[in-house]
């Protein structure tokens, strides 16, 4: 039976892109989506087969992913999807609070009517506790991505995208924590209301509180895993 190939999606390079770039983007998306999980060993030959390419572009992709911090070399195991320790997790959420708070404040000042409407639509479509944790997590990523773009700062956007890559290394979504999906939905709605009202100070404060809530849920999740 043929091995399952890594799924293609909108993040993949279009036809004509170098194969190394295509392999890099597809592997990166597989890490972001959780298809490749933190701590999982990855081999060049297996990834080449799944991506239907030679080992050369996969080797190039591995080098880039290692430089991004998404892949690491583990003694006696080889290349693995990177894992974050407790200190790295705390640092990540600190930076999220600072940068996403800034993004929310900028969005309140700069977002167009169309961008605000998109954010409002995303809030209305949020499944909350009615959705599967993985589906809610995917919707959450779309919401935050839309907000990043509404800030209209290319350098902030680039930095936030790097943080989003690192978020993929956290493992299970915090939407698995009881009550978190509904809390996040309400917090998202309040942030969008502040953006629509062009209240930059309130939007930033609410976003900072939202990220602190996400951090608290993450710590609860980590504690429950350690107990198992």
Return mean pLDDT, the chain: 89
> 15 versus 127: which is more confidently predicted?
127
pLDDT tens by residue, 123-148: 999 988 888 888 888 899 999 999 99
CA distance 47 to 134: 24
What is the pTM assigned to this prediction?
A: 0.80
pLDDT of residue 66: 93
Average of per-residue pLDDT across 164-178: 86
CA distance 192 to 182: 16
pLDDT tens by residue, 78-127: 999 999 999 999 999 999 999 999 999 999 999 999 999 999 999 999 98
> 134 versus 161: which is more confidently predicted?
161
Q: Is the pLDDT of residue 12 over 60?
A: no
pLDDT of residue 107: 98
Domains of the chain: 19-81 (1.10.10.10), 86-227 (1.20.120.530)
Pure H helices in the chain: 19-33, 44-51, 55-67, 86-110, 113-125, 133-150, 154-167, 180-196, 200-227
Q: Pick the closest to residue 185 from 126, 133, 145, 131 (CA basis).
A: 126
> 53 versus 3: which is more confidently predicted?
53
């Amino acid at each position: 039976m043929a091995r399952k190939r890594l799924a293609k999606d909108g993040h993949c390079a279009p036809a004509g892109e170098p194969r190394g770039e295509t392999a890099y983007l597809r592997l990166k998306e597989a890490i972001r989506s959780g298809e490749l999980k933190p701590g999982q060993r990855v081999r060049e030959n297996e990834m080449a087969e799944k991506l239907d390419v030679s080992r050369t572009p996969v080797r190039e992709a591995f080098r880039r992913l290692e430089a991004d911090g998404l892949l690491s070399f583990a003694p006696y195991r080889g290349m693995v999807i990177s894992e974050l320790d407790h200190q790295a997790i705390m640092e990540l959420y600190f930076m999220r609070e600072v940068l996403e708070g800034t993004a929310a404040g900028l969005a309140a000042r700069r977002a167009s009517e169309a961008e605000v409407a998109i954010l409002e639509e995303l809030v209305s479509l949020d499944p909350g506790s009615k959705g599967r944790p993985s589906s809610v997590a995917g919707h959450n990523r779309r919401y935050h991505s839309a907000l990043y773009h509404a800030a209209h700062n290319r350098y902030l956007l680039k930095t936030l995208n790097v943080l989003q890559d690192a978020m993929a290394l956290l493992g299970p979504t915090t939407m698995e924590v009881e009550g978190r999906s509904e809390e996040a939905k309400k917090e998202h709605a309040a942030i969008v209301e502040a953006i629509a009202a062009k209240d930059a100070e309130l939007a930033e404060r609410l976003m900072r509180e939202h990220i602190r809530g996400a951090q608290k849920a993450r710590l609860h999740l980590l504690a429950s895993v350690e107990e198992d």
